[in-house]
Structure 1
């Protein structure tokens, strides 16, 4: 196999997308940034897990309903049926392992941009963008589909199919009216509770079986990432059905894939970010060769540190530029030691930079390095690099938020979104990291 340093990854490659979406499972921050999920994963919720349900009556729901893993979330939905002060709030405990199906992305958010596509395909066999608010029909259809595979529920929130066979009531309480705290305060508390699962390990009360992963990024299962893929015959429920029909706790090869992926991200994310910082600390118009040389030397040291475990004593870099087109043993070792995901990525780019150094001026070296590290980090698009800069202060918390683009009455479009229909997809801005205040005045 030839490893060419000057060959970028195939434009149709989805390896880096599979890698980062798996790395983001059950974490709040990356799944609010990239809201449209592409993966379906079998999993379980262990016995003894507490779930919370806000409601308007004291009895158990007679059919499928939503529960939350944080009471701050479920309290938003509890109220008294007679309009009196207070609300009904159930605390439940699982009595056995729950068999669940996990949808990644912001799959609990109602919207037209594709956030519920994976659920729609399971529930109705096709995407239903106009049914974003048909949540009752959706949860009933999902539970009906899952009955054949003994599925207890679905995870975005925890959509529970039966409140009598898998959970026991710990308490059913009429909670006091939340005092003078405004609705914005309660909404913030729900957001804050979710933010506690922002980063790895995320929501630890759900355990996923990655050996049963079904992904829309699988080029064998779905050969295209365009919307038309949802209507291809290659997406069939029997594939997911085979995964869910396997014996309980079957773990495939036994490899902990998530741990393996985290090793790669933990090892290289901060190092690549630091190299990016070094190369941007000296601007392209900087004068003074000492500063530029210092930046180049510091950068080369950092790249060498990343590659040190793979540089063999009997391997020397080629002496001519023409020989750099084939990757050296160090970079082949680095890529194959992990998962192969880095081929065409971090280490390949680094060798090209190091070997080009003997042929270019120091300033040109830094320019090439900066270009390559920018392209590399954009291609990998790891959520570890998405953060509020500067970091949020003690009165705020970071959240990856989107918003509606402002309407322009002068263009003849003064309407407001209907409460029964979500705004059109083109009205939504891309989610960006923002600081939201946890004390008055709130910025939700």
Structure 2
């Protein structure tokens, strides 16, 4: 049986190698500094301007609230489908149903939050699939820090800081842009929850299920007088409770908080499942051919990445790409679920890298026996490389072919048999990002494994030096990956608390809006105030 397994493995390797060699040399993989035939290139770090990890993160984060809140300035546009039969909600101050362009919420709590006076909530059901363009990041937040950059480019050809508060003009403009493309019903954006901008309520794509006059809210808990609140958050004159009502009315502050609670349901994968992503249409501004943006990103933390420096010619090129994407028939791509591919990579490595970081922490290393601790780390490295650790992949002095083989197999394990011919140009970009991201994970782990291979028999001085070196390598890799799966509330929140990061349009009194560290907040003592202007 073992002999048969070896034969099968050898055959699979022979089948995979031509594909791997061909794809590694492909022109559309120019960002991958890796050539399967170059034994010296396996340990080359990513290019300084590589965007593989950024694109990987954007694909892995689609439909999820937490990563898009942390990395609030979106850089990607992708088509999504809201299926037939989906219930959506719209809150307003009167009983007239919208007819033109307006917003819809995925959950009642979000629509209820929008009632600032008399409250009417209309529930709709989709009568057919809605095809929408999803703008990632916190693309519905009225901030001047870059949250509107992508949609401003669609509307005006450049980011417009003078239009930050012009919400009605922006919605009208983005719907006007979408009119050019048959079958595009609107857009999806996110603030503390996802919202749909439906460009034409009279198109027959949705029909009313119910129109309910909901209880008015009590605004007395707001400490600030209305004139100090932003215009879109000022309550209308107080509405009397219905005849016969006893006790308190629903709290306006609680309504706002519960909208954030509903948004938190989509914090992590799979995220908002009421929209399906068409990965074949994924258009990103993390494109290294946009040289003005490449230069502007150097040395800048991701939270401050913007599109404000994009040139007119680069803008025209991206608008042409979007026109091609939304002008072609839906479902033109390969059908590969790239979101699942990115999640598989994260699932395999995220917890294990976090474990390595814990094991290599100074307090852990200082208190441990060097030989036992180095062996423990070695075992974890071997676990991560086990799928690629063939019997001939044994380190040998002066011969790096074993490492090259491991990195090659590890980097392309999910993509080696996906042919270019079935991929859209946008999917090829995702494929390259998956391989480039996986390659850097595999490169760093293999570099550590090369040191760890014979560490069990080494002296204590070398063992402690290796532990210190590995700590730096793990920290470097995790910082480069910057996965939001590592952003968690520690310790876990109690049932009367919510794991929270600063989220427009509200902030907790003790929070710094620039600090995106998750922390627990009370669900019963609501210390909310408007986001600082």
Match of 2:257 among 184, 188, 192: 188
Q: Deviations over 1:11-65 (max 9, x none)?
A: 1000010001110001000011010000001121111111111111211223211
TM-score under structure 2 normalisation? 0.73
Residue 315 of structure 2 corresponds to 235
Is the 2:119–2:215 Cα contact (8 Å) retained in structure 1?
yes
The CA deviation at 1:6 is 4.3
Instruction: State yes or no: 1:395 paired with 2:395.
Output: no
Residue 417 of structure 1 corresponds to none
Is the 1:4–1:326 Cα contact (8 Å) retained in structure 2?
no
Residue 379 of structure 2 corresponds to 301
Aligned pair in 2 of structure 1 residues 343, 168: CA closer, same or farther (>3 Å)?
Answer: closer
Residue 436 of structure 2 corresponds to 341
The CA deviation at 1:124 is 1.4
Residue 41 of structure 1 corresponds to 78
Separation in 2 of the partners of 1:107 and 1:180?
32
Separation in 2 of the partners of 1:145 and 1:368?
52
Instruction: State yes or no: 1:145 paired with 2:227.
Output: no
Is the 1:53–1:68 Cα contact (8 Å) retained in structure 2?
yes
Aligned pairs (5 A) from 1:15-94: 15-80=52-117, 86-94=118-126
Aligned pair in 2 of structure 1 residues 281, 249: CA closer, same or farther (>3 Å)?
Answer: same
Secondary structure in structure 1 of the residue aligned to 2:360:
helix
Instruction: State yes or no: 1:330 paired with 2:406.
Output: yes
Q: How many residues align?
A: 412
Is the 2:101–2:199 Cα contact (8 Å) retained in structure 1?
yes
Match of 1:163 among 191, 196, 201: 201
Separation in 2 of the partners of 1:403 and 1:71?
19
Is the 1:282–1:295 Cα contact (8 Å) retained in structure 2?
no
Is the 1:5–1:352 Cα contact (8 Å) retained in structure 2?
no
Separation in 1 of the partners of 2:120 and 2:486?
41
Separation in 2 of the partners of 1:403 and 1:107?
11
Instruction: State yes or no: 1:381 paired with 2:502.
Output: no
Instruction: State yes or no: 1:258 paired with 2:339.
Output: yes
The CA deviation at 1:187 is 1.4
Residue 354 of structure 1 corresponds to 449
Instruction: State yes or no: 1:177 paired with 2:216.
Output: yes
Separation in 2 of the partners of 1:347 and 1:48?
44
The CA deviation at 1:344 is 5.1
Aligned pair in 2 of structure 1 residues 17, 441: CA closer, same or farther (>3 Å)?
Answer: closer
Q: Deviations over 1:223-266 (max 9, x none)?
A: 6332454234022222101101111333x122221111111111
Residue 156 of structure 2 corresponds to 124
Residue 356 of structure 2 corresponds to 275
Aligned pair in 2 of structure 1 residues 364, 402: CA closer, same or farther (>3 Å)?
Answer: farther
Residue 523 of structure 2 corresponds to 438
Separation in 1 of the partners of 2:311 and 2:122?
40
Separation in 1 of the partners of 2:513 and 2:258?
24
Gaps of 5+ in 1: 81-85, 407-426
Residue 424 of structure 1 corresponds to none
Is the 1:102–1:155 Cα contact (8 Å) retained in structure 2?
yes
Q: Deviations over 1:274-318 (max 9, x none)?
A: 11111116456x26xx52322211111111011111111122112
Separation in 1 of the partners of 2:161 and 2:292?
22
Aligned pairs (5 A) from 1:308-323: 308-319=386-397, 323=399
Residue 166 of structure 2 corresponds to 134
TM-score under structure 1 normalisation? 0.87
Separation in 2 of the partners of 1:4 and 1:430?
38
